[in-house]
Chain A
Amino acid sequence: MSTQAAPLLEKPRKRSSATLYEVVVPLLATAAGFLVWEAICKAFSVPAYLVPAPSEILTETLAIGPTVLGHSLATLKTVLLGFIVSILISLPLAVLLTASPAIAAALYPFLVWTQSIPKVALAPILVVVLGSNELPRIVITVLVAFFPLVNSSATGLMSVPPELLELSRACRASKWSELWRIRLPYAIPFIFSGLKVAISLAVVGAVVAEFVNADAGLGFLIVTSTAFFKVPVAFGALIILSVMGVVLFQIVVIVERVFFPWSTGNAMLAS
């Protein structure tokens, strides 16, 4: 019983030190970074069209606040749609890849091919093929984001201890219930590590797509504002993009913790 009681006693302290390290310290460090940046810009009188100070970025971006908000929402829409489509493609694809070596051998060349194409070069071609609308942006986002998710999901599906698969066979379970009751749950930690990479890459993909073809979005805002030397606004868009990336990443982390607590626990044990 003593070994059972010990972790219970430790929990509150663990939780408070976790908040300290996961929230307080990073926020303080970020704030300190901005302060140093501000101080350097002020001390050396760096011109705003080269490297604007954080205060200038803030005022100039807020000055066109509603416009920036519109662009942010446009980018967020592309990121989320691209991310969702990536999931919808990647999970079945991972199941297919792990279903048989023949299917894997047939599909992998295509996957590698989609990854070896430079997406920036592909983007203008896709616009011609698919038209100047949301579709090519989503396609680019998916092409940038989906591959790590397929890979880690496939790895996860293959990570089941062979004994459990033998047990499943000994229970005369169907391939379907083996997938549903053993392989997929086992893959959850791997799927989530893929999702974390995919959500970050989805932001990158959306911006790449917006550089090439868009009339809205933060990528579009960066292109147009730098063209008119409104560098503080471009920096503002950049900061919003990185914040968007961090927030979306954290949402994935929280979803994993809330719905699959055993998954994060295992990851911690493994590392």
Chain B
Amino acid sequence: MISLNRVTRVFESRDGDRITALEDVSLSIRDNEFVTLVGPSGCGKSTMLRIVAGLILPTAGTASIGGVPITEPRSETGIVFQAPTLLPWASVMDNVLFPLRMMHKMDSTSIDKAAALLKLVGLSGFEGKSPRELSGGMQQRVAICRALVHEPDILLMDEPFGALDALTREEMTMELLRIWGERPKTVLFVTHSITEAVVLADRVVVMSPRPGRIAEIIEVKSSRPRSFHVEGDADFHDASRRIRALIFGQKHVDPSRAAA
């Protein structure tokens, strides 16, 4: 279980200004829960993700996983970024194996594991290809395999489909749901897309900017397995409308209700 308890993070810019990226954020995420973070730019979504990753530490408050405070990156976490950032000199297979190499965790089963993951995302036969021979969507699939190869129990995704075209994006969203169905794990998913946030999530955390706070946490009740057909559901509609109201009608939200 991931738990953030009154987490605040302040950044100091070069000219000495202090910017509060996250203020007094509390959130608990159950094991194998799919949580999406949605909100306008500057609402601290990525900061929150990086705190859970152990890449940055809270200025105040505590972040912990399974009761253990997060003080540094832990090896049971996988990360996917907006850009695939594959190594241009390495093959698809070597890119997937990269975290294992960096962690000195390569063993006789590693290559089979990586091949199984590539099969899971539909990239069997591409093991020896170079990243530049792949389309943007395929590269991001490789990046997802790279994040899963060391069998993390937590997957952090920072706008992973943000750079893809709309059609590929929907396809990848379904793909991710399928992967999550086959290999359940706790997912924290940052996105700008309200539809994406609702289709994927058990709970959508809506954030408000300057300083970054949780505006509201919305439970998505639509049944699983889901597809974009849920867009027609009443549950889906209610959730989307509420999120839109929170994001675009920000002034009417009472900040005292923020911490949930």
B87 sits at the interface (CB 8 A): yes
Inter-subunit contact A171/B83 (CB<8 Å): no
B99 sits at the interface (CB 8 A): yes
A151 sits at the interface (CB 8 A): no
Inter-subunit contact B55/A262 (CB<8 Å): no
> In the assembled complex, how far is the CB of residue A257 from the closest CB belonging to chain B, in whole angstroms?
14
Q: A161-B85, A163-B81, A166-B55 are in contact. Are A171 and B132 (CB under 8 A)?
A: no
State the total of A-B contacts with C-beta under 8 angstroms: 60
Q: A161-B85, A164-B85, A266-B88 are in contact. Are A170 and B132 (CB under 8 A)?
A: no
Inter-subunit contact A163/B89 (CB<8 Å): no
Bits for B169-188, please: 1 = Cβ < 8 Å to A, else 0.
00000000000000000000
Residues of A within 8 A of B98 (CB): 167, 181
B interface, size bucket: 20 to 34
Inter-subunit contact B75/A163 (CB<8 Å): no
Interface size of A in residues (CB-CB distance below 8 Å): 24
Residues of A within 8 A of B82 (CB): 163
A193 sits at the interface (CB 8 A): no
Inter-subunit contact B75/A185 (CB<8 Å): no
A131 sits at the interface (CB 8 A): no
B61 sits at the interface (CB 8 A): no
> In the assembled complex, how far is the CB of residue B18 from the closest CB belonging to chain A, in whole angstroms?
21
Inter-subunit contact B103/A171 (CB<8 Å): yes
Partner of B89, one of A171, A172, A263: A263
Of residues 221 through 271 on chain A, the ones whose CB sits less than 8 Å from some CB of chain B are 260, 262-263, 265-266, 269
Assembly CA distance A269 to B82 (angstroms): 21
Residues of B within 8 A of A170 (CB): 53-55, 73, 77, 79
Assembly CA distance A1 to B103 (angstroms): 35
Residues of B within 8 A of A188 (CB): 89
Assembly CA distance A185 to B94 (angstroms): 14
A-B pairs with beta carbons under 8 Å apart, 9 shown: A161-B83, A164-B87, A166-B50, A169-B73, A171-B102, A171-B103, A172-B73, A172-B103, A263-B89
> Which 4 residue pairs are nearest across A and B when measured between Cβ atoms?
A171-B102, A163-B81, A173-B102, A170-B73
| Extra contacts besides A167-B79, A170-B73, A185-B87 (5): CB < 8 Å | A166-B50, A166-B81, A167-B102, A171-B103, A181-B98
